[in-house]
Structure formats: structure tokens, C-alpha cells
Amino acid sequence: MKKRAHVLVSGRVQGVFFRATTKEEARKREVNGWVRNLPDGRVEAVFEGEEDDVEEMVDFCHEGSRAAEVEDVEVNWDEYQDEFSGFEVQY
């Protein structure tokens, strides 16, 4: 079953390779979507793919990159929309 997750990650998550690591992890799992920095210091991401793979990406967001210090992760689960053809960092 395919799922979609919209994630907001708070903490020290900008300037610590969070987006690049997220992209790498998503591509390993063949999860589509995007990740970007927000002006308020959070990171936002959308993941689409097989349910187990999307859940693994949400789990990854609780850890982040090696230098990240994740304080909170908000997750909204949605119906799969087949909106993306890969995973990208948005600027």
C-alpha cells in the first residue's frame, strides 16, 4: 500500500546536511517527494511511496543527519497522490 507523509522537523536542522542526507535516504528507498528549509528554521518534507519506506523516512527525520539535533517532528499522513517522479531538494 502506498502512502504520503508531510513532515515538519524542528531543532538544529539547517546547515547540518539534513536536506542532502534526506535526499540520499529517500533515493535509497525509492521514495519520491521533496525537502526544503523554512524561514523559521524548520525543515519541511513530503514523502510518497510504499508505506514501509515512507515510515522509514519519517523515522529517519527523528534522527536526521549526524550533525542535526532534532527536537520535534510533526507528521501528517495523507492519501498517496503519485505527484512526484523522484526526490529533490527545493530551494
Q: Write out the catalytic residue numbers.
A: 19, 37
Nine-digit cell string for 20: 542532502
User: Among 9, 6, 46, 54, which Cα is nearest to 29's?
Assistant: 54
List Cβ neighbours of 77 (8 Å cut-off, separation of 6 or more).
3, 4, 5
